[in-house]
Structure 1
Amino acid sequence: MRLPAILFLLIAGIVAGPIGGWLDPDALLGDLLFPFVSLAVSVILFEGSLTLKFSEIRGIEKVVRRFVTTGALVTWVIVTLATQWITGISWGLATLFGAVMVVTGPTVIVPMLRTVRPTMHIANVLRWEGIVIDPIGALLAVLVYEFLVSSGTAGGAVGATLIVFLKLISVGSLTGIGVGYLVGEALRRDWLPHYMFNVATLAAVMGAFALSNALSHESGLLAVTVMGIYLANRKGVPVEEILSFKESLSLLLITALFILLAARLDLSLLLGLGWGAVQIFLVVQFVARPVNVLVSTRGSSLSWRERGLLAWIAPRGIVAAAVIALFSLQLEQKGYAEAVLLVPLTFVIIIGTVVLQSLTAGPLARLLNVAEPGSGGFLIVGANPLARAIAKALTQNDVSVRLTDMLWDNVSRARMAGLQTYYGNPLSEHAEVYLNTAGLGRVLAMTADEHLNELACTRFKGDFGPKRVFALRVGAREKGRKAVSLAGLDAFGEGNNFVELSRRLARGAEIRQTNISEAFSFEQFSNNYGERAVPLFAIDPKGRVEVFATEAEVQPKPGWMVLALVDADPDEYKRPAKAEKSDSKAEKTEAKTQ
């Protein structure tokens, strides 16, 4: 349905809880509800901070830094003022609500980016803002909560409150760094067997959370966030080994949390908020976010179109719901009767931002012309000379292409040719996290390793679809022998293979583009070139690319363009035998290496 899953989780929780009466989280978990929510939020924050590598935000550091500092402060102030003026609740609770509303969160941003597909610049800003602002928003909420509690118990003594704040920050930071250092040493020095990495890290996260909370109340969230950032940026720590497991666990916890928290909603309170809740949502969407973006992007290289989309996208997610649920429970117990309004008010903002922005962000991105091209690009597995030649021809026709290879020489040559690359194994866990497939929707596997081609097609078939993965056979099959079934479609037609096409390219063949018209049909093209040409791709007038494959019938029509590998003219083809032998040896060496 092209909508973030949390929307349906919220609906499921509301139906199962206040509407149907089938699920009562307080009766189900009792006194364990609060500890479970706390631990779940700590794991989610740790997983988010574990992906925060500062080296990957070069070029947008200034904008991201403003978003999570001055921009967050602007949002906090605007939402706090609007909440107090519209609802009339106390300034303390309004300030707490404003602190929670600064978060956006990767749990809703990432699914939305997959649907909207904005330009990479916008996607990077939104993604990093979501990752960084989550722990900051949670920390602000903790500080406001501590301020409220300390003010109530110490007669409003600011000095006592500052001591509590300093203790929270120092204990949380030192605990996170200390436990992070120990975990990092254990992983770097192989003090643990490999199969223990995930469970040991999870135990360390929960241990750091519990220890920090024991030393300073509610400092555990800060501790696990600092721990994740420390591990993500420490050299030699195999973060990829544990990230996949943490992502799966976070997904499970997010599912449980949204259903449980939505099931605790009091619909009478939600309806009692009336137009006040709608007014606060309008302020969050149409005032706080645009002013935030205006302040954060001043003097940057972002265009007004990019700023316009940034000003529209800021959905609230799991951290906002979980943190406000935690503190509203405790504040109710401490005599803050109005705290019961914070949870339904938060869910109004979550549902409103997710629904509105999910439905409109895609059309708005296309209207502003800041959306990535459709998923018609190619992920080419292999960066050998043949792959580079094909990638260059596609790129010249405005087709998104990314090459991936495990040989650095191939990758470096592709980069020198101005092509987008990923250096590494496309089947690895590292690729799961860092291989950027924005704008790509098809795979073309064309290495000298038949097994790698097969595995790559199998790996990406689930993401792109079985009819959008193609594999080029490595060598010619023997006569009378049945062709081996490929995991992907047989690229470039029957009889063509990687070895033969690479050999022809080395002997002077080149990729040429030919316009098909009424006067020069594709049939005439085939008759004119004969076996000298191997049709590779056909591009229609709208820029859509079709791959010539054994299983796909491609019939270029007038107005189309054909990209084909065409042998050099016989008169031009003069190549010394020694050079040919050298090339053949190089090809065999590359094939053997791959």
Structure 2
Amino acid sequence: MQEQAIVIALVGVLGIGAQWIAWRTGWPAIVLMLAAGFLAGPVLGIFDPEHAFGALLEPMIAVGVALVLFEGGLSLDFRELRHSGSAVWRLATLGVAIGWTLGALAAHQIAGVVWPVAVLFGGILVVTGPTVVMPLLRQSSVQQRPASILKWEAIVNDPTGALCAVVAYEYFRLTGAGINGFQVVTPMLIAAGVAALIGYVAAVAIAWTFPRGTIPEYLKVPVLFTSVIGVFVVANLIEHEAGLVSVTVMGIALANMNVQSMRSIHPFKENVAILLVSGIFILLSASLKWEDLAYLNWRFGAFLLALLFLVRPATILISLLGSSVPWNERLFLAWIAPRGIVLVAISGLFALRLGELGYADGNVLIGLSFAVVVVTIIAHGFTIDWVARLLKVKGETRPGLLLVGSTPWTIALAEQMHQLKTPVMVVDSSWERLGPARQKGLPFYHGEILNEATEHNLDLAPFQVLVAATDNEAYNTLVCNEFAYEVGRDSVYQLGQSSDEDDRHALPESLRGRALFESGFGVTEVANRLESGWVFRKTKLSDNFKFEDAQDTLPQAANMLLLVLEDGKMRFFTHAARPTPGPGDTVISFSPPQGSAQEQGQRRAAKKAAAKSKGKTQAPA
């Protein structure tokens, strides 16, 4: 028991540690997790998951994969398919057939694997997987359509690839016993349909019970995740790997039933997905044995090159032939196809079963599947930004600012940020209030930011900072609290509490966003100062022109709002934090009309005199 506890702790430390390093460095998290598990397992021998968990390891990983697929399904909304639906449909049907055929041919002709094993492995190779695609999309900024296609393909094709492997295995197993191939495939397709129906019925049951109060709020997450595991197990009893179909259908169905209760579950299920992905990758890579790699040779290296440069490009280009997807996006999709958990997990399962049927090459699947995962993750993980930039499918790379509320103050701030090349968007539900933004040519969105449809009509990915600055302070607090989980609690801001507001009616600090300005200006104070002629000013700092010099050029009552660093990152002056300005930073201040030159000269002279007097006082006797 102590060994298992130590392994669980180490898996958590290594997985989340790899995620943190990836966040700090910008490296692909999946690569770091694979490296961490490989070092801890076969290289250094710190722990062996198979020895620690024994027969429980496989069902643990299987349930984890099921939960990850369900979480991925919850992120798929049919409204995303308005611009990419035909491409997704082609890749989920024609693309699977082409990828399966070409993958099997490459495995047999290039890697030298016998036909039954090659056909089975070709079926598994159609998967890409949300466990690898989603982290890559999260870390890189790719335009909405190619990102949506990759996401849908990854989630939909994961259970499809598993079923392809099952079909191939059962076909060779039963036809070897003299049973007709049609009699093999037809029942399995029926079983897959039944599994999908089970997932859909479970989703309908959840969608009916959650809004009606039959499940208390504190039990909704446990009930949901228990239901997912139950659906997965029941469907697997009908047919091997059919559970992946059930949970994927269940997730997609729930995502499109507009269940309001699901919004409160999103933060938790995203955290669970990160923990599961981290843990599963560490466990799988740590379980690898040196003998599994002994089968690898130059032919397998040639197969990996063919997979990268022939199989995947041909699958995409043929599948999307004649579609409306632009050629630069097709070429991008033709390159990005990292494989992950499902490939390794299913390959390991069928390697044992093929060995039992007498196919010696079944043993190569474990090492070959790991080689495919490592090579594709490294190749695609480290090149996705470069390829996206080369093919001009790169989205905004500078952090963006989302301004909720179209007021004179937010319009003035948006103008300053727009001039600094910061992506900015003004959001308001009133077309009339958005008039000044339209007149000044500022990007805007007309709609209610709290409406669930906004998540699909407005791409929030480029905006890493949110400022709620409407005239309604309670509404600003609601917006900040709603988006704190998505944008980050430290990246949602609002104007402070107005000085004329009764403290008894003040909203709790735990709900509010961070208060802008060190003085904590409220909505009323900002509006009054704007009427008095206050304006935004931006000042660029350098080695010779420091922050103190910038303060000298501004009126004494000026309030610093934020720093814009050279890479576009924003650091706000708040009631609780004061960033440290440095050379190359741009200071945005909110200040009264500029004083006379004589007044500024007097301020500078007084400051120099004070510094000179301080120097004399501190000089030694």
TM superposition score normalised by structure 1: 0.77
Instruction: Give the distance between the partners of 2:321 and 2:171, measured in 1 at CA.
Output: 33
The amino acid of 2:220's aligned partner reads F
What per-residue deviation string (whole Å, max 9, x for no partner) do you get for residues 91-145 of structure 1? 2221221222222222212221233212233322222222222222223223223
Match status 1:498 vs 2:491: no
The amino acid of 1:162's aligned partner reads V
| Aligned residue in 1 for 2:56 | 32
How far apart are 1:54 and its partner, in Å?
0.8
Instruction: Give the distance between the partners of 2:485 and 2:252, measured in 1 at CA.
Output: 33
How far apart are 1:346 and its partner, in Å?
1.1
Instruction: Give the distance between the partners of 1:493 and 1:256, measured in 2 at CA.
Output: 42
**Contact 2:127 2:158 (8 Å CA) reproduced:** yes
| Aligned residue in 2 for 1:5 | 29
**Contact 2:406 2:437 (8 Å CA) reproduced:** no
How far apart are 1:77 and its partner, in Å?
1.8
What per-residue deviation string (whole Å, max 9, x for no partner) do you get for residues 369-404 of structure 1? 432333332133444553355336644765312456
How far apart are 1:283 and its partner, in Å?
1.4
Aligned mate of 1:261, from 284, 287, 308: 284
Q: CA RMSD in A?
A: 4.6
| Aligned residue in 1 for 2:389 | 366
Q: Which moved more, 1:432-441 or 1:378-387?
A: 432-441
The amino acid of 1:95's aligned partner reads V
**Contact 1:71 1:292 (8 Å CA) reproduced:** yes
Match status 1:64 vs 2:98: no
| Aligned residue in 2 for 1:252 | 275
| Aligned residue in 2 for 1:482 | none
**Contact 1:197 1:241 (8 Å CA) reproduced:** no
Instruction: Give the distance between the partners of 1:243 and 1:325, measured in 2 at CA.
Output: 32
Seen in structure 2, the aligned counterparts of structure 1 residues 528 and 32 have a Cα distance that, compared at 3 Å, is closer
Instruction: Give the distance between the partners of 1:147 and 1:446, measured in 2 at CA.
Output: 63
| Aligned residue in 2 for 1:132 | 156
3-state DSSP class of the match of 1:88? coil
Seen in structure 2, the aligned counterparts of structure 1 residues 18 and 552 have a Cα distance that, compared at 3 Å, is closer
**Contact 1:103 1:316 (8 Å CA) reproduced:** yes
What per-residue deviation string (whole Å, max 9, x for no partner) do you get for residues 520-561 of structure 1? xx99x999997999997898999898878894688999xx99
**Contact 1:548 1:554 (8 Å CA) reproduced:** no
The amino acid of 1:277's aligned partner reads F
Instruction: Give the distance between the partners of 2:497 and 2:186, measured in 1 at CA.
Output: 69
Aligned mate of 2:70, from 43, 46, 50: 46
| Aligned residue in 1 for 2:141 | 117
| Aligned residue in 1 for 2:603 | none
Instruction: Give the distance between the partners of 2:160 and 2:250, measured in 1 at CA.
Output: 14
Seen in structure 2, the aligned counterparts of structure 1 residues 42 and 147 have a Cα distance that, compared at 3 Å, is farther
How far apart are 1:272 and its partner, in Å?
2.7
Aligned mate of 2:498, from 475, 490, 502: 475
3-state DSSP class of the match of 1:380? strand
Seen in structure 2, the aligned counterparts of structure 1 residues 378 and 81 have a Cα distance that, compared at 3 Å, is same
Match status 1:16 vs 2:40: yes
3-state DSSP class of the match of 2:83? coil
**Contact 1:404 1:425 (8 Å CA) reproduced:** no
**Contact 1:461 1:469 (8 Å CA) reproduced:** no
How far apart are 1:341 and its partner, in Å?
0.9
Instruction: Give the distance between the partners of 1:292 and 1:300, measured in 2 at CA.
Output: 14
Seen in structure 2, the aligned counterparts of structure 1 residues 62 and 401 have a Cα distance that, compared at 3 Å, is same
What per-residue deviation string (whole Å, max 9, x for no partner) do you get for residues 200-254 of structure 1? 1222222222222333444222222222222222244633344433333333333
What per-residue deviation string (whole Å, max 9, x for no partner) do you get for residues 389-439 of structure 1? 53366447653124567xx4489948994514774459x9x9999985433
What count of residue pairs does the alignment treat as equivalent? 552
| Aligned residue in 1 for 2:131 | 107
What per-residue deviation string (whole Å, max 9, x for no partner) do you get for residues 444-493 of structure 1? 34344289569949986997796x77654453599xxxxxx999887578
Aligned mate of 1:93, from 114, 117, 129: 117
The amino acid of 1:3's aligned partner reads W
| Aligned residue in 2 for 1:592 | none
The amino acid of 2:444's aligned partner reads L
Seen in structure 2, the aligned counterparts of structure 1 residues 18 and 403 have a Cα distance that, compared at 3 Å, is same
Instruction: Give the distance between the partners of 2:203 and 2:482, measured in 1 at CA.
Output: 37
Instruction: Give the distance between the partners of 2:416 and 2:78, measured in 1 at CA.
Output: 34
How far apart are 1:499 and its partner, in Å?
2.1
Aligned mate of 1:186, from 205, 209, 214: 209
Seen in structure 2, the aligned counterparts of structure 1 residues 41 and 145 have a Cα distance that, compared at 3 Å, is farther
Instruction: Give the distance between the partners of 1:229 and 1:454, measured in 2 at CA.
Output: 28
Aligned mate of 1:419, from 423, 430, 444: 444
| Aligned residue in 2 for 1:146 | 170
The amino acid of 1:78's aligned partner reads L
Instruction: Give the distance between the partners of 1:247 and 1:107, measured in 2 at CA.
Output: 12
In structure 2, list runs of 5 or more residues that go unmatched: 1-21, 502-508, 541-546, 594-621
Seen in structure 2, the aligned counterparts of structure 1 residues 269 and 161 have a Cα distance that, compared at 3 Å, is same
* Residues 67-466 of structure 1 aligned to structure 2 (within 5 Å): 67-153=91-177, 155-236=178-259, 238-384=261-407, 386-388=409-411, 390-391=413-414, 394-395=417-418, 398-403=421-426, 408-409=429-430, 413=434, 417=438, 419-420=444-445, 423-424=448-449, 436-447=459-470, 448-449=472-473, 456=480
Q: Which moved more, 1:318-327 or 1:230-239?
A: 230-239
Instruction: Give the distance between the partners of 2:266 and 2:520, measured in 1 at CA.
Output: 43
Instruction: Give the distance between the partners of 2:536 and 2:221, measured in 1 at CA.
Output: 51
3-state DSSP class of the match of 2:76? coil
Seen in structure 2, the aligned counterparts of structure 1 residues 159 and 37 have a Cα distance that, compared at 3 Å, is same
3-state DSSP class of the match of 1:378? strand
**Contact 1:205 1:224 (8 Å CA) reproduced:** yes
Instruction: Give the distance between the partners of 1:543 and 1:29, measured in 2 at CA.
Output: 47
Q: Which moved more, 1:487-496 or 1:437-446?
A: 487-496
| Aligned residue in 1 for 2:604 | none
Instruction: Give the distance between the partners of 2:435 and 2:366, measured in 1 at CA.
Output: 53
Instruction: Give the distance between the partners of 1:210 and 1:535, measured in 2 at CA.
Output: 58
The amino acid of 1:401's aligned partner reads V
Q: Which moved more, 1:444-453 or 1:347-356?
A: 444-453
3-state DSSP class of the match of 1:352? helix
In structure 1, list runs of 5 or more residues that go unmatched: 479-484, 517-521, 568-594
**Contact 1:96 1:145 (8 Å CA) reproduced:** yes
The amino acid of 2:165's aligned partner reads A
The amino acid of 1:211's aligned partner reads V
What per-residue deviation string (whole Å, max 9, x for no partner) do you get for residues 323-355 of structure 1? 222322333334333212112111111111111
3-state DSSP class of the match of 1:87? coil
What per-residue deviation string (whole Å, max 9, x for no partner) do you get for residues 146-177 of structure 1? 32333234x25113213332332232122222
Q: Which moved more, 1:49-58 or 1:433-442?
A: 433-442
The amino acid of 1:19's aligned partner reads V
Seen in structure 2, the aligned counterparts of structure 1 residues 174 and 446 have a Cα distance that, compared at 3 Å, is closer
Q: Which moved more, 1:436-445 or 1:77-86?
A: 436-445
**Contact 2:31 2:377 (8 Å CA) reproduced:** yes
How far apart are 1:194 and its partner, in Å?
1.5
TM superposition score normalised by structure 2: 0.74
Seen in structure 2, the aligned counterparts of structure 1 residues 386 and 185 have a Cα distance that, compared at 3 Å, is same
3-state DSSP class of the match of 2:232? helix
